[in-house]
Amino acid sequence: MRKLKNSELDRLSVDEYKEIEKTSITVVLDNVRSCNNIGSVFRTSDALLIENILLCGITATPPNKDIHKTALDAEKSVPWEYFEETEAAVIKLKESGYMVWAVEQVVHSVLLPDFKPEKDQKLALVFGNEVKGVQQSVIDLCHGAIEIPQYGTKHSFNISVSAGIVLWDLVYKLRS
């Protein structure tokens, strides 16, 4: 077994990335405060061909050196838009035919292994603030909530970890 070199990975250029068909998933970041988390979500979104990212509230926007530190230029390939209020972003998505799901622990949430995305349905996922999670006013606008099962003493994952888990799972399900 030999580790592959970067030159052997056959990665897309930014221009090729912009032209290729994306997975019909939009990521919404609801008041995410850490630029490292934001950058990580950009990088994960690039790797999984996510349609775009909506940055809301206090969530920082590119160009930003701290976002770039973890995004590694994914902030240049993944389209993004800024909204002052997350609620406005969710309303716009719903008006555009998206099913909007919060990734949050709520009453009657759907566990991630049980969530079955529909291949022809546009999907938006809202990830919340590192401390407070997704705002209740935003949850109230969503079609439902997806919860990642957890088994230890901690009650949450870091937002960038949550995004990685949920996005990979849903992209895998949609492409299978």
| pLDDT recorded at residue 23 | 95
| pLDDT recorded at residue 74 | 96
**pTM of the shown model:** 0.96
| pLDDT recorded at residue 25 | 98
| pLDDT recorded at residue 8 | 93
How is 32-98 classified by DSSP, letter by letter?
---HHHHHHHHHHHHHTTEEEEEEETT---SS-HHHHHHHTTHHHHS-EEEES-HHHHHHHHHHTT-
pLDDT (tens digit, 9 = 90+) per residue, 59-92?
999 999 999 999 999 999 999 999 999 999 999 9
Per-residue pLDDT of the chain (176 residues; tens, 9 = 90+): 999 998 899 899 989 999 999 999 999 999 999 999 999 999 999 999 999 999 999 999 999 999 999 999 999 999 999 999 999 999 999 999 999 999 999 999 999 999 999 999 999 999 999 999 999 999 999 999 999 999 999 989 999 999 999 999 999 999 99
Query: Hey, what domains does the chain have and what are their CATH numbers?
Result: 26-149+158-175 (3.40.1280.10)
* Residue given tokens 């909204």 in the structure block: 83
Q: Which of 120, 36, 126 is nearest to 86 (CA)?
A: 126
| pLDDT recorded at residue 166 | 98
